[in-house]
Amino acid sequence: MPSSEEQFKQLACILGGGALGAFLLKNHYDEARKSQVEKDDPAGVRWLCDLIGGVLEDWQPRGYDTEDQYAKALYRYLNRELDEIDLEDPVDVELCPDTERGIPDILINDQLVLELKVNPNKAERDRLVGQCAGYSREWVTWAIVIDLPLHEVGELERLLAAKGLHYIEVISFS
């Protein structure tokens, strides 16, 4: 008996021919790749990501010595900026929470992980990919890279895409 996935593929191809069938298939697989929080609360996650994305646009990290110092600075910045916004509900920003999936640098509203790396070498970028893959099953996950040359940011994005992790956002700061 064919699997439901095979039946879905056949139906998509029959219904839509080329383009529509491909769109339906892509949408099906994108749905399967969503984090648990995106499945549970898509509107809330979208709102939070828009909010945090806007706040991050104005962050200007100083020259700290360690990743921990950058994470603490970003944590303080997020809390300060979010306190200044008139929000209906408070946004909970946690620094290095101990979770079943590991210890992300920053976890926001138990929905969004920010994993930071400062000028990561290849081994650290590989570790970042692994961390993001693990966290992204539960939460929306963004990789925050600081002082990474632009061509290496592109390499990181291509590596994530090659591993099927194209949905992990890479945000670069110099």
Residue 26 is predicted with a pLDDT of 39
> Which structure tokens are listed for 10?
């056949």
- If asked whether residues 13 and 42 sit together in one domain, one would say no
- If asked whether residues 77 and 106 sit together in one domain, one would say yes
72-78 contacts at long range (C-beta below 8 A, 24 or more positions apart): 74/105, 74/106, 74/114, 74/116, 74/144, 75/106, 78/52, 78/106, 78/108
Give the CATH number for residue 100. Answer: 3.40.50
Please state, in angstroms and rounded to a whole number, the distance separating the CA atoms of residues 114 and 53: 11
- If asked whether residues 60 and 97 sit together in one domain, one would say yes
**Domain carrying residue 156:** 35-173
- If asked whether residues 62 and 127 sit together in one domain, one would say yes
Domain count, the chain: 2
- If asked whether residues 102 and 158 sit together in one domain, one would say yes
- If asked whether residues 123 and 105 sit together in one domain, one would say yes
Helix (H, G, I), strand (E, B) or coil at 67: helix
- If asked whether residues 29 and 78 sit together in one domain, one would say no
Q: Which of 27-41, 94-108, 155-169 has the lowest mean pLDDT?
A: 27-41
- If asked whether residues 20 and 106 sit together in one domain, one would say no
Q: In this structure, are residues 168 and 160 in contact, taking their beta carbons and an 8 Å threshold?
A: yes
- If asked whether residues 47 and 22 sit together in one domain, one would say no
- If asked whether residues 10 and 42 sit together in one domain, one would say no
- If asked whether residues 110 and 160 sit together in one domain, one would say yes
Average pLDDT, the chain: 85
Residue 24 is predicted with a pLDDT of 36
pLDDT at 8 over 90: no
Interval 135-156 mean pLDDT:
94
- If asked whether residues 60 and 6 sit together in one domain, one would say no
